[in-house]
Amino acid sequence: MNFQIATLLGQDGLTNGAIYALLALSILLVFTVTRILLIPLGEFVTFGALTMAAMQMGKTPKLEWLLLGLVLIDCALDIYQQIKRHIDRNKMKMVALKLGYAVIIIALLNNLSLSEIPMIAQIALTLCLIVPIGPIIYRLFFQPLADAPALVLLIVSIALHVTMVGVGLLLFGPEGARTQPFSDTGFRLGAVLLKSQTLWVILVSIFLIVALFIAFERTLYGKALRATAVNRMGARLQGISPIFAGKATFALAAFIGSASGILIAPITTLYYDSGFIISLKGFVGAIIGGLVSYPIAAIGAVAVGMIEAFSMFWASNYKEIIVFTLIIPFLIWRSMNSHNVEDDE
Amino acid sequence: MKSRNLIIIVLVILAIAPQVLPTFQITLLNYIGLYALVVLGLVLLTGVGGMTSFGQAAFVGLGAYSSAYLTTTEQLPSWLAWSAGSPWVGLLIGLLLTAAVALFLGALTLKLSGHYLPLGTIAWGISLYYLFGTMSSMGGYTGISGLPSLSLFGVLLDKGEKIYYLIWTILMVAVWITSNLLNSREGRAIRALKGGQLMAESMGVNTFRSKMVIFLISALFAAISGWLYAHTQRFVNPTPFGLSMGIDYLFMALVGGVGSVWGALLGAGILTMLKQWLQDWLPLVMGGNGQYETIVLGLLIIFMMQRSPGGIWPLLVKLAPASWRKQNHIKITSSAAELPRRDLPQKGKLILEACNVTRRFGGLVANNQMNLKLHAGEVLALIGPNGAGKSTMFNQLSAVDTPSDGEILFLNQSLKGKSSRQVAHMGMSRTFQHVKLLTTMTVLENVALGAHMRGNKGIISSALHIEREEEQRLLKEAQYQLERVGLGEHLYTEAGSLSLGQQRILEIARALCADPCVLLLDEPAAGLRHKEKQALAELLKKLRQEGLAILLVEHDMDFVMNLADRIVVMEFGEKIAEGLPEEVQSNPAVLEAYLGGAE
């Protein structure tokens, strides 16, 4: 291995690592607030990437039907619940707003010539299409189970992943897709050639991480979510709605997931089922952080990316095995530190 | 109709099925049998033991690949040359390999709590799948073909309807073994894993061992299924051993009913048929030929989890007429020999002693320089206002917690470094302030768990039910203790349906079942009615008479003053008084602690 190869691999590792770090952070966020291990996070990644790809090919992404379907079910449930109790004017306004939003997005998708609008508009449309799916999924699948044992939540999470992979196949087909890079220029730093997309990924990741940090440290809503993560019952008694917390974290997860997909789509070809392995690597990072520590999880995730890139060079066939056996030392470390027999549930 | 007759009918139907069904249906039944064997292991692991595994498919792969490699390779290693590529040797090696891998993975992951175990199983499930795919000696992703058919007693099992009998016989034996195991001393320990580990440990159960046992059994069931699969298909590649199949196995268990052995069969049957049916119909509806059935199956699981997390089997049981549902309880024969009893120490001998015990939690000193002595044939009461540090003291005395300074001597041995299980073996038995029962088990079974240390028959004799004599003795002891505490008419009631007071009494019976020399009772009279309290006091007096040492943490002053020989009063983590009940009652420090001083 010479210096040039090492820098190339290092860039790859850093790019992937940055994505895994983003995913690890949203996994942690969702887990601490709702106790759900969000396995389907990877599907948001593929949805984001494949929607972008469809737009750039000038096709209307079929994901609009998923959004429309979910919004319709969500609104139908809202109306049904109101009829059963009493009709609340404000809530009816919300229903109209949700329906209006879906209609506007779909109208935009069908009337713009999607391949010609600027990339920033494509990205915005993709995010507008996918992010609302997150909270609706929480409402339909997890909200009725808010008090269920953690195991049930995990199983629903896995089942949701299985379903979403199927939906991905139905909507995007079995072909893989890759999108145009954000910009074409490369940078030269001394003897090292930096790919522009690498820089984009790293910069956007850092920006998002800092933005999340500020949001959680400085804003009231961020603090409310943190309070829920620390003590669910206590937060509830302080008037923080667990439903709000769940929907908000799922919206954030959908946002981070699809943004990650958009970021890496120019680098790797993604298929409808590529998301699982990607999100699992985020999980490896999250586990290294012990499912509690954000900074350690982020560092762990970057390490996962690096190890993956370099094992690609040394033993490409065993890449996945190396990455997934990576968590075993951490599991051993955990098991050595967990001395007491715990009585969960 | 008895459930036994129902089983016979099912067996007869299974026996004649290959004679009347077309080949395609038999193939389907073969698959159901193979899957059910894996799912049965999951029922044991997840439903009974409370440990979720997504990695069972990897064990299936180990079983399949071991035999596939050994029966097709040109060059057997020289130490295996004698086997001449026999599938039966393949099975043996496969089982040994699986057991070794399972022991290794179990040692790594079974101590983990909560989410780490399922995540760990996902990780190894994926790793083993890629390993099968990348090892060129195993045929890579294309796999190994040309496996020999099995032959048994000279009959070549080369057709679906022939191997059908082998698959279903093995499955039925596995069901029999599993239900035997669950219905035994070891089985009670296994059933305590879900929600009762702390309690089981203090009854002398090695919970880690129990976890490992069911983990091994489920891995071995999976390996046998893989071996059968390999020689039914006569071809293996990595696909059926990947994580998605591991997820499917868990889904089967959940749909059928993860708490019951029959749920395994039901789940494997329903999901296999449904998948088959969806694969036929969905492409017609949706166009194209993708695996759209996953959408439906995923949604189905979510719906099940929201509406009926116990699966379909419990629903069926609820629908069945009451006479079918009636469980056959083991009859306790009065001729069973009594269990040997421990020789109690002589009355007045020092049993348990706390020497200058201090316990700090960070800056908080919960116990400061506590001293107390408990003798055989004595009732010592530990009292004090709320927050006085009684529970901390109790936890240290029962080896759940360790003192920061000072030490606790039990029968002249320091408790430092001893687990609650070891202490239980030394003769200490306890009850819990917050009742810890296995609510779905019968009262008798709960109490018999207390006698766990007094039996020694292992897993294999439990699985084959050749330990019935010992089981009778254990149950008889449990019955005796229950009658002694006055719960004799509730032997077969579900423990969860007793009143709180009765549940506390049950805990005492369970503690007595362990044949202790010292009994630690944490607020035994809380929630009891007046008559029940009197009966409890009578019982404790009788036990004292027999020479037991009894330590009591209690709030009920009447109860304490009439029963205790000596009383230790605590406040703010320190002992403020000790002595006879009358002395303590008139002690000014105690009066101030309880009633407040005159300012």
Residue A339 pLDDT greater than 70, yes or no = no
Q: For an interface test with B, which of A276, A280, A343, A345 has the most B Cβ atoms less than 10 Å from its Cβ?
A: A343
Residue B226 pLDDT greater than 70, yes or no = yes
pLDDT of amino acid A124 = 93
DSSP string, B388-403: SSHHHHHHHHTTSS--
Q: pLDDT by residue (tens digit) across B22-59?
A: 888 888 999 999 999 999 999 999 888 888 888 899 99
Residue B300 pLDDT greater than 70, yes or no = yes
Burial class (CB in 10 A: 0-12, 13-18, 19+), A282: buried
pLDDT of amino acid B290 = 65
pLDDT of amino acid A340 = 45
The answer to whether the Cβ–Cβ distance between A154 and B52 falls below 8 Å is yes
pLDDT of amino acid B36 = 94
Q: Is A167 an interface residue toward B (CB < 8 Å)?
A: yes
Residue B44, CA distances (Å) to B211, B221, B298, B525 in order? 10, 11, 23, 37
Q: Is B130 an interface residue toward A (CB < 8 Å)?
A: yes
CB B354 within 8 A of CB B410: no
What residues of chain A lie within 8 A of the CB of B120, using their CB? 327-328, 331
Residues B236 and B485: their CA atoms lie apart, in Å, by 60
Q: Is B589 an interface residue toward A (CB < 8 Å)?
A: no
The mean pLDDT value for B458-467 works out to 84
Residue B337 pLDDT greater than 50, yes or no = yes
CA of A284 vs chain B CAs: smallest distance (Å): 9
pLDDT of amino acid A342 = 44
Query: In terms of CA atoms, which chain A residue is nearest residue B105?
Result: A328
Instruction: Report the predicted TM-score, pTM, of the whole model to 2 decimal places.
Output: 0.88
pLDDT of amino acid B58 = 92
CA of B113 vs chain A CAs: smallest distance (Å): 7
Following CA atoms A197, A203, A204, A205 in sequence, which dihedral angle do they give, to the nearest 10 degrees?
110
Residue A125, CA distances (Å) to A109, A128, A137, A197 in order? 8, 5, 19, 20
CB B191 within 8 A of CB B67: no
pLDDT band for B455, please (50, 70, 90 cuts).
confident
Nearest to A331 among B112, B198, B301 (CB): B112
Residue B599 pLDDT greater than 70, yes or no = no
- Where do the H-state alpha helices sit in B515-556? 530-546
CB B553 within 8 A of CB B523: yes
pLDDT of amino acid A253 = 94
Q: Domains of chain B (ranges plus CATH)?
A: 26-322 (1.10.3470), 345-427+517-524+545-599 (3.40.50.300), 432-515 (3.40.50.300)
Q: For an interface test with A, which of B305, B308, B422, B432 has the most A Cβ atoms less than 10 Å from its Cβ?
A: B305
Instruction: List strand residue ranges (DSSP E) for B185-284, in order.
Output: 235-236
Residues A253 and A247: their CA atoms lie apart, in Å, by 10
Residues B167 and B475: their CA atoms lie apart, in Å, by 36
- Where do the H-state alpha helices sit in B308-351? 312-319, 322-325
What residues of chain B lie within 8 A of the CB of A324, using their CB? 123-124, 126-127, 130
Q: For an interface test with A, which of B119, B129, B297 has the most A Cβ atoms less than 10 Å from its Cβ?
A: B119
SS3 content of chain B, % helix, strand, coil (to 5): 60, 15, 30
Residue A338 pLDDT greater than 60, yes or no = no
pLDDT band for A345, please (50, 70, 90 cuts).
very low
Q: Is B88 an interface residue toward A (CB < 8 Å)?
A: no
Residues B367 and B393: their CA atoms lie apart, in Å, by 7
The answer to whether the Cβ–Cβ distance between A344 and B113 falls below 8 Å is yes
Beta strands at B413-414 and B518-522: parallel, antiparallel or unpaired:
unpaired
What residues of chain B lie within 8 A of the CB of A162, using their CB? 244, 247, 294, 297-298, 301
Please tell me which of B37-46, B478-487, B490-499 the model is most confident about, judged by mean pLDDT: B37-46
Q: Is A73 an interface residue toward B (CB < 8 Å)?
A: no
pLDDT band for B327, please (50, 70, 90 cuts).
low
The answer to whether the Cβ–Cβ distance between B198 and A343 falls below 8 Å is yes
Instruction: Tell which wins on pLDDT, B223 or B314.
Output: B223
Query: In terms of CA atoms, which chain B residue is nearest residue A344?
Result: B195
Mark which residues 225-284 of A lie under 8 Å from B by CB.
277, 280, 283-284
**Residue B591: closest CA among B574, B577, B572:** B577
